[in-house]
Structure formats: C-alpha cells, structure tokens
Amino acid sequence: MNPLIVLRDSFYFFRSNLWAIVRLCLPLVVMEALAKELVDQVTGPEGSALYDIAVGLLFYPMYTAALILFLDARTDGYEPHGRHLLGKALHLWPRFALLAGMSTALIMLGMSLFFLPGLFVMIKLAFAEYLLVLRNLTPLQAMRESFQLTTGKFWPILTTVLAVMVPLWLLDGLSAMAWADTQPTPITLLIDSVNSFLQLFPSIVMFRLFMLMAEPVSRRSQ
C-alpha cells in the first residue's frame, strides 16, 4: 500500500464529489460550529472542553455516518439521495455517538500518558466507525475488529494519517492564532465551519484505507 496513491485517489474523489459532500454534510457542520460558538459564549473562555466534546457528539456521528454511507454507495456506483443517507445516519446515531465517546475517552487518556499511547489507540481504532456503519457492528465489536484489522499495519496507517492530518492541524492552529480574540462571531463561524468541513477529507482517506485493508479479510471469509 502506497500512502501517496491513497491520498491521490482520495483527493480525486473529494474533488469529483465535492458538491454532493457539501450538500450532505455542510449544513450539519455549520450547525455544529454554531452550537459550539453559543456554548462558548455561555460558558466563557474558561469553559470546560467537555462542553465542546458533548456538542461534537450531537453532530459528528450524523454527518460522518452519512458521509461513510455516501462513500460506500458511490464506490458501488450508486447515486444516493441525501435524505435517505441522513435517515440511516439518524438511525445509527446512538451507537455511533457511543463509539465516538468511548474512542475519544480512550484517545484522550492515552494522550495524557505522554502522547504516544494516545496515538497508538487512535491508529488502532481507525476503522471502528466504518465497521460500525458498514457491517452493522456494536461499538465494542467495531473497536475489537478494528484492533484486529490494523494488526501488522500500524506504520502504513500512521504514515497516511499524519500526511493528511498534520497540514490540517497546522491550518487550524494558524487560523486560530490569526483571528484569536479579535474576530466577529460570523468570521469565527466561517473559520470553524471551513476547518471542520476540511476534516471530512481524512474520513475519505481512511475509507480508502479501510477498503484496501478489509478486502482481503472479506475474501477469506467468503
């Protein structure tokens, strides 16, 4: 598996289906950014990060599950309807939110232990969301299966994840520094929405990785 080929294919898909992804996910992304802005105004600058995580758990499972379903349908050559995808995503929301909450807690715990354990957990859980959505697994089953599926593939996944995430982290940090404490709320909302929307690209990259690495497993099970 060549990470550069994975990134190239993912970028081509993202560019080719950009308008469909915008229509499907951007409204929820903007609603999430608006909700976080409102929570920040209520709690103040010293408000707990747990509030942002809680808001994220309301919206992130919806637009991410819808995106995964869209990716799967387009891979099979179908043109899915947005309302149908969002309906299925809503049905998956309780399990997806539970999975996202558990994964976030484990990664944060690992990050508190000198960073590297958190990075390890993040890579080992990289496919859990796709297993939950596409194979209808429970959160615990999806996490366990992701650990198994990523066995022996840690470094290729890590390389690909860092190649796509580091530029996005830098962009997010630079935009936060450039507009810190001076921006009007509309600009804050715009920046947060754009940054959150760009975070969908790693989901496309990881879906491509999942398809490449899960295919041999599927064939052996047939």
Could you give the 3-state DSSP secondary structure of residue 150? Answer: coil
Helices and strands in the chain: count of H runs, count of E runs: 10, 0
Q: How far apart are CA 141 and CA 136, in angstroms?
A: 9
**Residue 16, pLDDT score:** 93
Q: Which residue has the higher pLDDT, 22 or 218?
A: 22
Q: For residue range 15-25, list pLDDT tens digits in order.
A: 999 999 999 99
**Residue 48, pLDDT score:** 62
Q: For residue range 58-104, list pLDDT tens digits in order.
A: 999 999 999 999 999 998 888 889 999 999 999 999 999 999 999 99
Rounded to the nearest angstrom, the gap between the alpha carbon of residue 208 and the centroid of all alpha carbons in its chain is 13
**Structure confidence at residue 207 as a pLDDT band (50, 70, 90):** very high
Q: For residue range 134-170, list pLDDT tens digits in order.
A: 999 999 999 999 999 999 899 999 999 999 999 998 8
